[in-house]
Amino acid sequence: MDEKNQVEPAIGMAEGAGHFSLEAEDTPSPKAEPVSTWTPDGEKPNDAPASTSIPDEETVIAAIATVYDPEIPVNIYELGLIYAIDLHEDGSVKVEMTLTAPNCPSAQELPVQVKEAVEKIDTVTTATVEIVWEPPWDMSRMSEDARLALNMF
């Protein structure tokens, strides 16, 4: 058989006894970029490249300050409920917060509201909120603005 009559094996065709090839050539094909990402809300196109910048602390604080304790007309940042904000290069944010009391009726909803507020920031990829009890919260943690709003000088 001369070289002109040799035929490359088709993709998925057997090349010989006991050998099977998924590609016609030995070189692997380059991986294609995904055209979309599946989320619980449905499929979303990959328009924007993944964020590799650290979220801005002031922006995170501003987002947290949109969350109010339903029993106290002051945002939770000014109340002193936020103990730590950890910003990471991959865009993730970890927030450590406390509550005014262990039996706080808002214990279920406030952490979820903080998580959702932080995740709305464009540079944030994911947020986690952890409730901590040490040190215990007391009124000395409130900002001056919160004390004025609550008439607690």
Mean pLDDT of 86-99: 94
Residue 27 confidence (pLDDT): 47
The pLDDT score that the predictor gives to residue 23 is: 41
Q: How far apart are CA 45 and CA 75, in angstroms?
A: 35
Residue pLDDT, tens place only, 35-90: 555 666 666 555 544 445 788 999 999 999 999 988 888 999 999 999 999 999 99
Q: Is 12 left (phi over 0), alpha (psi -120 to 50) or beta?
A: left
What CATH architecture applies to the domain 57-146?
A: 2-Layer Sandwich (3.30)
Q: What is the pLDDT of residues 8-33, one digit of tens each?
A: 544 444 444 444 344 444 444 444 45
Taking the CA atoms of 109, 113, 115 and 116 in sequence, report the sign of the dihedral they define.
positive
3-class DSSP assignment, residue 15: strand
- 4 or 131: which carries more pLDDT confidence? 131
For the chain, the structural domain boundaries read 57-146
